[in-house]
Chains A and B, each alone.
Chain A
């Protein structure tokens, strides 16, 4: 039964359910294996990501299954093993930093080191505060530091105890981009030094790209796919996952023909004359599929382009240009509505306005057939 594992890997093969009166019963039923390094747990909210972390940390008891960290069994329903959370040697970083409000930053970080002699403890606390560049906040209370500082202190507090595995539940949500990348750098440096299993929950594509070595995609309590980030997220199989991964265009269509020699198939979008070429998927002629395309993967041209390698050129008309920060969202009507992301500079130099006729250019491999 036991699979061959590298030492220290975290495995969880569990079934856990959560019931409350308001929502339909939710069942988490999955098997995951987290080797040393950063594994991203990705999926829409309500997929069971936090429940999985709570089960691994010992805060929620699964009904069936087994959880082990390396050689050590943390939970086994059959042999009735259940280590309490305080004996699991996990680091767990919550979305809310959960710092103890009545203790200083230093006391917070020292909290997990009560069994270490006082002089060693002081030294370890000082080192980690320096490593995370928060030593200046030593004497402050959590109410007196910013959200990003708080999250960094919480990370230091989790790591100073030398956990055997680290669980992070959307730790960067709500922080600004600069702080995020600083914390991501800290985490990567720490990961490079220690190499323990790190399970990182997020639904931010940016964080996946910045951190992920592997991705496990969760949906509705089950693993829907896992592997390298590109394989899991860039070829989504399911509609909800496609939305979560930031595919702004999700268009219904019908398969017209399969060109297996070229590795492509032609799909007619909706009831329009609009046809695009997409990579060959698990579909037969006449099947209804959805095509997922990122708004950022679409090029706009004001004249019909020629001599391109891109196979899909579709004529349409701009119906709306909407500025969002440093980006412009263009709605283009080609019989079906497309969303494209362009820069304000491009809008100016191409003199784009609502009503203007444009051509959309799509690479075949930017189009993903989704069943």
Chain B
């Protein structure tokens, strides 16, 4: 049980961090761009919410395969394929959990009072400084929500992992897959053990978010 669980935790941590790096600029653009075609990007980002994981997994698998554009590029750089590796799993998970990072961040950035941004600009701050000193600190609850949701969502994903990762022990066999395997093998005791741990981790993580958000709001009263 420990191996798959550690793998799940590792995957979720890596994905959550990567998503923060990708998601912050994306959310900033979505929150402040005045481009008319913005809804197109918003729709693409939200796609994983409604798409069956197998469909997303299928396309990612095809793209990562040795004949797919991504697969070819990867092989050219690293000498081996991307499908059925941990790296492939990370890539697919980043796509799959993208809306869980980008949407809370966008909402948080948009809710910062525009007068504060005007005030910052007039006081001599450029866009970057305004972002670091004003927008980001006032969006901390949104950042926490984004990280935790993408972490928890990646912990629990199943369909995409199965499609892209296969089921290789120690490489791509995550905890959620183990549960499925154990049930298939009628080993309900083992399945229950893993399932219970996943349940407890998810619950603890969500408690941390909701508890912390309340405290953060209290520290920074809206004025």
A residues neighboring B (CB under 8 Å)? 57-59, 84-92, 94, 96, 98-102, 111-112, 114-115, 141-143, 150, 157-158, 161
Whole-angstrom CA separation of A24 from B134 in the bound complex: 34
* Secondary structure class of chain B's binding surface, majority of residues: helix
Establish whether residues A84 and B124, one from each chain, have CB atoms under 8 Å apart when the complex forms: no
Q: Is the CB of B221 within 8 A of A141?
A: yes
Which of the residues A85, A101, A102, A141 comes within 8 Å of B122, measured between beta carbons?
A85
Residues in chain B near residue A114, CB distance under 8 A: 124-125, 129
Most buried by B among A87, A98, A143: A98
Please name all residues of chain B whose beta carbon is closer than 8 Å to the beta carbon of A94 when the two chains form the complex.
Answer: 115, 118-119
- Asked if B222 is an interface residue, CB under 8 A from chain A, the answer is yes
Tell me whether A98 and B115 are in contact (CB under 8 A): yes
Known: A98-B113, A100-B116, A114-B129. Is A143-B222 also a contact (CB below 8 A)? yes
Q: Which residues of A contact B122 (CB under 8 A)?
A: 57-59, 85-86, 88, 90-92, 158
A262 to chain B, nearest CB (A): 53
Instruction: Evaluate contact between B129 and A101: CB separation under 8 angstroms.
Output: no
Smallest beta-carbon distance A242→chain B, Å: 32
Known contacts: A84-B121, A114-B129. The answer to whether A100 contacts B134 by CB under 8 A is yes
Give the distance in Å from the alpha carbon of A210 to the alpha carbon of B220 in the complex.
37
B contact residues vs A (CB 8 Å cutoff): 113, 115-116, 118-126, 129, 133-134, 137-138, 220-223
Q: Of all chain A residues, which has the CB nearest B219?
A: A102
Beyond A101-B222, A114-B129, A143-B223, is A157–B118 a contact (Cβ under 8 Å)?
Answer: no
User: Are A59 and B118 in touch, CB under 8 angstroms?
Assistant: yes
Across chains A and B, which 9 residue pairs bring their CB atoms closest together, nearest first? A112-B123, A143-B221, A85-B121, A98-B119, A143-B223, A98-B115, A92-B122, A101-B223, A102-B137
Complex Cα gap A32–B185 (Å)? 84
Of the candidates B115, B120, B137, B222, the one whose C-beta lies within 8 Å of that of A111 is B120
Q: Say which residue of B115, B123, B221, B222 sits within 8 Å of A96 (CB atoms).
A: B115
Asked whether A86 and B119 contact (CB < 8 A) given A102-B137, A143-B223, the answer is no
Q: CA A134 – CA B223 in complex, angstroms? A: 19
Please pick, from B121, B134, B137, B138, the residue contacting A86 in the complex, using a CB distance under 8 A.
B121
